[in-house]
Amino acid sequence: MVGLPTYDRPDIYTVSFSDGSLAEYSATDTLLELAPVSILPSVETSLLPHWVQGGSNATLFLDHMTKPRHGKLYQNSDQEWIFFPGISTDLDKGIILSNLPATCQQLLYTGQLFRGHTKFC
């Protein structure tokens, strides 16, 4: 974990190591080169909101759709996100959401994708 610089000390980063020790580094130091590799855990990060996960309820209203559809989001074996309207999980009826991590914020902002169903939000 890295503590960001403050107004009082704008050039100092605070690093907390897994053994509980703390160290301060100047902004001119290269933090990743100074830190031992063993303390850098592999953490999977996601650009998607926390509620976007396999089986989550969502409503989708893309430009080509005549009305919003309520359904569920799933990932296939190729890690592509697919929206299944209604209760079906038939791949022929699923809508592939191409590159959802890159387009999700735009879909949310424009109201084309949202959590749950409008009746329950």
Q: How confident is the model at residue 36 (pLDDT cuts 50, 70, 90)?
A: low
C-alpha dist (Å) from residue 60 to 96, 107, 114? 11, 9, 7
Q: How confident is the model at residue 120 (pLDDT cuts 50, 70, 90)?
A: very low
Higher pLDDT, 11 or 7: 11
Average pLDDT over residues 15-44: 64
Higher pLDDT, 16 or 1: 16
* Domain spans, the chain: 2-39, 56-120
Q: How confident is the model at residue 74 (pLDDT cuts 50, 70, 90)?
A: very high
- pTM as predicted: 0.58
Distance CA 32, CA 4 (A): 15
Higher pLDDT, 111 or 25: 111
